[in-house]
Amino acid sequence: MIKFGPAGNSDLFYETGGKSSQEVPEWLSGLGLSAYEYQCGRGVRIGEDTASKIGIAAKKHHISVSVHGPYYINLASVDTEARRKSINHILKALRAASWLGASPIVFHPGGVGDMPRTEALNIAKNTLEEALNQIEKEGLSHIKLAPETMGKQNQLGNLEEVLELCKVSPQHLIPAVDFAHLHAVNNGSLTEKGRFEEIVEQVEGSLGKNAIKNLHIHFSPIEFGLKGEKRHKNLADKGFGPDFKLLAEVIIENNMAPTIICESAGKQVEDALMFQRLYNDLLSTK
């Protein structure tokens, strides 16, 4: 079953009296949403007790939980110590996910720097293999890792690169496809349904049918410039793509059941509900 939900806690949660993330699963369920991406972008700062309480609430209210790992993960760094720290950040995120009952861990692959992209990708793949060895030793390999497609040209993580990272260990890695990022990094390319179809077909062609069935998706309007992503926007900000209706049509036609995490700025709950409503309206006409 398709799931919709926010990345983190929206402004609306606090405006309506919410105080703690432990309350979020029940609140989201009351709104009719079914997914929640817990944010650790600025570091894994949640303890086992709090995480377990969120996880128990999520299970009770049928909310699927994922985790966004720290932004400063960089699998492609030329600095050995930086790569070691990146592996530790992934391990910390996995421990938190275990307490939360969450999967997958979404993470940014890293930066390209002055290297050729192929060299950066090879370093990232080697770092990922090392991380997977440590993950196996800690007994955390049941939680999926999801490298995310990125929105800036100097970042590692175009669609091809993310799919190559997933091939390092297909049983442990799935792609996190951020359509806003793909739209931004390619100068506003997602304006036709066919472009969304091409992305889904590319994922399926590379990783198989199961990879698209339960695809982990990020979606929001986005502002971009010559170098790609500038900032995430929301549906109240008129004139920003991509158009969710185009993706919804592709999801329905391919009989997909993805998790769609809305990253709209401040209004991720309101926009997730809009995306869900649009999807259901389209589905009712099929």
pLDDT tens for each residue of 132-155 = 999 999 999 999 999 999 999 999
| β-pairing verdict for 216-219 and 222-225 | unpaired
Enter the pTM of the model: 0.97
How many structural domains is the chain composed of?
1
Bond into 104 cis (ω within 30)? yes
pLDDT at 14 over 90: yes
Number of helices (H), then strands (E), in the chain: 11, 12
Do residues 70 and 38 touch, judged by C-beta distance below 8 A? no
Which residue spans within 23-116 are E strands per DSSP?
35-39, 64-68, 105-107, 110-111
Phi, psi of 137 (to 5 degrees): -65, -35
pLDDT at 226: 95
Rounded to an integer, the average pLDDT of 2-24 is 97
State the Cα–Cα distance between residues 123 and 189, nearest whole angstrom: 29
pLDDT at 286 over 90: no
Q: What is the pLDDT of residues 236-256, one digit of tens each?
A: 999 999 999 999 999 999 999
Residue 94 has which token pair? 């996995």
Q: Domain of 205? A: 3-285
Do residues 91 and 84 touch, judged by C-beta distance below 8 A? no
Residues with Cβ < 8 Å from 30, sequence gap 6 or more?
A: none
How far out from the chain centre does Cα 21 lie? Answer: 19
Supply the mean pLDDT for the chain: 97
State the Cα–Cα distance between residues 150 and 144, nearest whole angstrom: 19
C-alpha distances in Å from residue 8, one per residue of 35, 41, 121, 214, 284: 10, 10, 29, 21, 30
pLDDT at 238: 94
Q: What is the four-CA torsion angle of 226, 231, 236, 240, rounded to 10 degrees?
A: 20
Q: For helices 117-137 and 159-166, give the axis angle rounded to 10 degrees.
A: 30
CATH number at residue 249: 3.20.20.150
How big is the chain by its Cα radius of gyration, in Å?
Answer: 18
Q: Which helix or strand (DSSP H or E) is residue 4 part of?
A: strand 3-6
Dihedral sign for Cα 80, 85, 91, 94, please.
negative
Do residues 96 and 51 touch, judged by C-beta distance below 8 A? yes
> Which amino acid is residue 141, in one-letter code?
S
pLDDT at 105: 98
Do residues 46 and 95 touch, judged by C-beta distance below 8 A? no
